[in-house]
Amino acid sequence: MERVNDLNKSPYAKSKSKKTLLKERIIKYFFTINSLVVIIIFTLIFVFLLQEGLKALDVIAIKDFVYKTVFENGEEGKLYQWYPTSEQPRFSLIPLILGSLLISIPATLISTVFGISVGIYLSEIASIKTREFLKPIIEIFAGIPTVVLGFFMLVVVASIFQDIFNPVNRLNAFLASIGLSFIIIPIISSLTEDAFNAVPKEIRMASYALGASKFQTVFRVLIPTAMSGLSASIILGFGRAIGETMIVLMASGNAAELSFELFRSARTMTATIAAELGEVSQDSAHYFALFFIGLVLFVITFILNMVAELILNRMRNKINY
Amino acid sequence: MKMTDIDIKSLIKNRKKTDLQTMISMFLIKFFTYSIVAVLFLILGKIVYEGSAVINRQFLTSAPQNNMTEGGIGPAIFGTLVVVFLMILFAVPVGIFAAIYMSEYAKDNVFNRILRVTVNNLAGVPSIVFGLFGLGFFVLFIGRGYDSIFGAGLFLGKPAMLWASATLAILVLPTIIVSSIEALRAVPRNQRIASLGLGASKWQTIKNVVLPQARPGILTGVILSISRGAGETAPLLFLGCAFFLPQLPVGYLDLGLFSIPMINPAEQFMYLSYHIFILATQSTNPTITMPIQYGTTMVLISIVILLNLTAVIFRYKFRQTMNEIKRV
């Protein structure tokens, strides 16, 4: 006993423990700094977009982002157009926002049906063996580069579509929606599966024990219970659809028109940035307008993400109780 | 007696109805699922069928010729490899260290909550916005700034490999962080307690107990991020992707007596995914370039799928080992 006490009291032990303590603290700060870098990067992106995007408001009035007033034959008219390079540039974001919605809403609807089906199949119906086989396949689907899907829509599917639907434009909003749904289905399906797996087993057992059929258990018990998870997955999928660039750039036809027709060309906010930023001169009104679109996109996806996260957090708390 | 008779009859009727409901709904769900799988195989099949006709050694190594109508995609493969390598160099250390902080050190405080929200939101930022940021911040702010301060002419203030990989690094950071955290959390808690109980310090525990076991899981995240980076196009559109480069972006580092060839990260580059985009949308003669396009697509798809499959297998094995450890 005395020996141990001696050892603990010895100056060597003390100095060593101090040294390790210091080392431990330095290591902890090192890791903290690295995670701080992540926050800094994110803030930097936001601040930078804000700074460059708001410069657009110095050159272009906020009203001009909605419509441009023109006088023709003595009559006042409003033009909702995106023609940033013409002599009288028009910067209305309305056709672009409309284009984004016209493509991403159908895409989200299609993906919801298919994505939730896949999620239900994987978590409730498929045997373990089938699941182990199907899950990697769905994951591979999620990993296909968007440029490949865009190319496939542009070259192969567009021709098939032309024969079936006889669209106004060969490349149109609906084609882009179908292309988009390929990348959103895996997102929705994997989140749906998670949401179903989070439902406690007892609830399922209780439902079956009361004599409910599989249909009743899935649609009357599991889906209502997992509803928050499902809605979060749909919101996240929608956010991804709004932000996706390559597929819409290649398959939507890129005509900024004010139309609600699915079989006409449409132009999204993302495709506008992608197509025009390469040719724009720095510090021009057009350049800042593109950053403004970027800011709008950033804010939209940020809000959608936050909403989805709030819903998921509430779900987790509910299930924990 | 009569009452139960009616009950049984209605029960049987009800049973038949629910059986039919179940049958139809289960059939639809199965149908939707397998049609997705079928579409995937159709897409892959078409690409492999058309692509495999063009792929040979010469196609993989030579440069495009005759206005892209002949030749191969050697420079594009080279560019992809270099940019992805640089991206990994930038992203992996920060990502893993941040993940170690979040899973091992962080307490449930405001900072950690902000950090989690940040990582989630970073994953949701549209890739084209990263492109805007890369051009505005890296190229014009840092690059031009460096050039004007050091009087380097136009050295870093232009779209280049360096900035492309830095931007991609930010893009894949959430992928690395999320899967690293998952891997670290999978290591059972009592192992940490045992190590700390034996007198090891926190860092010794992380270094000798947690990290070695989490390594395959972390590697999964790295592999996934490589595949994500190689497939990404949108942010690279204005970050130095070239339509066509006759020479590899190789510079010679002059050391007086002799010079050594070095990859010059301040140069433009060709990229597989961008090459597909260009061939699909700006080809001078689509019928002639189509086989090359399918070939390029097949090369990219093979790289991405191989990486993803490796990641899937790695993760599967990792989870199995972790389950075994937990059972013991």
Contact B132, A277 (CB under 8 A): yes
CATH top-level class for A94-320?
mainly alpha
The residues in A 31-70 lying below 8 A from B, measured between CB atoms, are 31-32, 34-35, 37-39, 41-42, 44-45, 48-49, 52
- In tens, the pLDDT along A2-45 reads 444 444 454 544 555 777 888 888 999 999 999 999 999 999 99
- pLDDT recorded at residue A186: 93
- In tens, the pLDDT along B37-50 reads 999 999 999 999 98
Nearest to B119 by CA among A41, A4, A53, A301: A41
Residues 6+ apart with CB under 8 A from B144: B156, B157
What is the mean predicted confidence (pLDDT) over B9-17?
75
The residues in A 251-290 lying below 8 A from B, measured between CB atoms, are 270, 273-274, 277-278, 282, 290
Domain that holds residue B308: 73-327
Q: If DSSP codes are grouped into helix, strand and coil, which group holds residue B158?
A: coil
Which parts of chain A sit beneath pLDDT 70?
1-16, 74, 319-321
Nearest to B238 by CA among B162, B142, B164: B164
In a domain, B315, yes or no: yes
Residues 6+ apart with CB under 8 A from A240: A183, A184, A187, B124
Using an 8 Å CB-CB cutoff, list chain A residues near B120: 305, 309
What is the mean predicted confidence (pLDDT) over B121-140?
91
Nearest Cβ partner for A145 among B35, B133, B231: B231
DSSP code string of B46-82: HHHHHHTTT-SHHHHHSPEETTTTEE--HHHHHHHHH
- pLDDT recorded at residue A233: 94
Using an 8 Å CB-CB cutoff, list chain B residues near A44: 133, 137
Question: Do residue B126 and residue A243 have CB atoms under 8 angstroms apart?
Answer: yes
Query: Structurally, how many domains does chain B consist of?
Result: 1
Nearest Cβ partner for B301 among A148, A239, A242: A148
Percent of the residues in chain B that have a pLDDT greater than 90, as a whole number = 39
In a domain, B156, yes or no: yes
Question: Do residue B129 and residue A49 have CB atoms under 8 angstroms apart?
Answer: yes
Q: At which residue do the structure tokens 């672009």 appear?
A: A96
- pLDDT recorded at residue A3: 47
Nearest to A301 by CA among B130, B137, B45, B191: B130
Band the pLDDT of B106: cuts 50, 70, 90. Answer: confident
The residues in A 94-113 lying below 8 A from B, measured between CB atoms, are 113
CA separation, residue A192 to residues B29, B118, B165 (Å): 13, 23, 33
Q: Rounded to a whole number, what is the distance in Å from the CA of B136 to chain A's nearest CA?
A: 8
Question: Do residue A38 and residue B47 have CB atoms under 8 angstroms apart?
Answer: no
Nearest Cβ partner for B233 among A146, A154, A213: A146
Percent of the residues in chain B that have a pLDDT greater than 70, as a whole number = 92
In a domain, B9, yes or no: no
Question: Do residue A305 and residue B297 have CB atoms under 8 angstroms apart?
Answer: no
Half-sphere exposure in the Cβ direction for A6 (13 Å, CA): 3
- In tens, the pLDDT along B274-313 reads 989 988 888 777 778 888 889 999 999 999 999 999 998 8
- pLDDT recorded at residue B164: 92
- pLDDT recorded at residue B101: 93
Amino acid at B104: E
Distance in angstroms (rounded) separating the CA atoms of residues A281 and A291 = 13
Contact A149, A179 (CB under 8 A): yes
Q: Rounded to a whole number, what is the distance in Å from the CA of A135 to chain B's nearest CA?
A: 9
Reply yes or no on whether the pLDDT at B218 is more than 80.
yes
Nearest Cβ partner for A246 among B124, B233, B307: B233
Contact B160, B266 (CB under 8 A): yes
Using an 8 Å CB-CB cutoff, list chain B residues near A114: 32, 35-36
- pLDDT recorded at residue B257: 66
| Percent helix, strand and coil across chain B, each to the nearest 5 | 75, 5, 20
Distance in angstroms (rounded) separating the CA atoms of residues B42 and A247 = 18
Contact B172, B84 (CB under 8 A): no
Band the pLDDT of B141: cuts 50, 70, 90. Answer: confident
DSSP code string of A44-82: HHHHHHHHHHHHHHHHS-GGGGT-EEEEETTEEEEE--E
Amino acid at B80: T
Amino acid at A211: G
Contact B196, B112 (CB under 8 A): no
Q: Where do the structural domains in chain A lie, given as residue ranges?
A: 2-58, 60-92, 94-320
Most B CBs within 10 A among A34, A38, A149, hence the mutation to make, goes to A38
The residues in A 179-198 lying below 8 A from B, measured between CB atoms, are 182, 185
Distance in angstroms (rounded) separating the CA atoms of residues B141 and A219 = 54
Contact A147, B231 (CB under 8 A): yes
Chain B touched by A140 (CB under 8 Å): yes
> B2 burial class (0-12, 13-18, 19+ CB within 10 angstroms)?
exposed
Beta strands in chain B (DSSP E): 64-65, 70-71, 250-254, 259-263
Q: At which residue do the structure tokens 């006709």 appear?
A: B53
Per the prediction, chain B carries an average pLDDT of: 86
Q: If DSSP codes are grouped into helix, strand and coil, which group holds residue B225?
A: helix
Question: Do residue B125 and residue A298 have CB atoms under 8 angstroms apart?
Answer: yes
In a domain, B212, yes or no: yes
Residue A267 dihedral angles phi and psi, to the nearest 5°: -130, 130
Distance in angstroms (rounded) separating the CA atoms of residues A14 and B85 = 45
**CATH code, B291:** 1.10.3720.10
> A59 burial class (0-12, 13-18, 19+ CB within 10 angstroms)?
middle
- pLDDT recorded at residue B266: 76
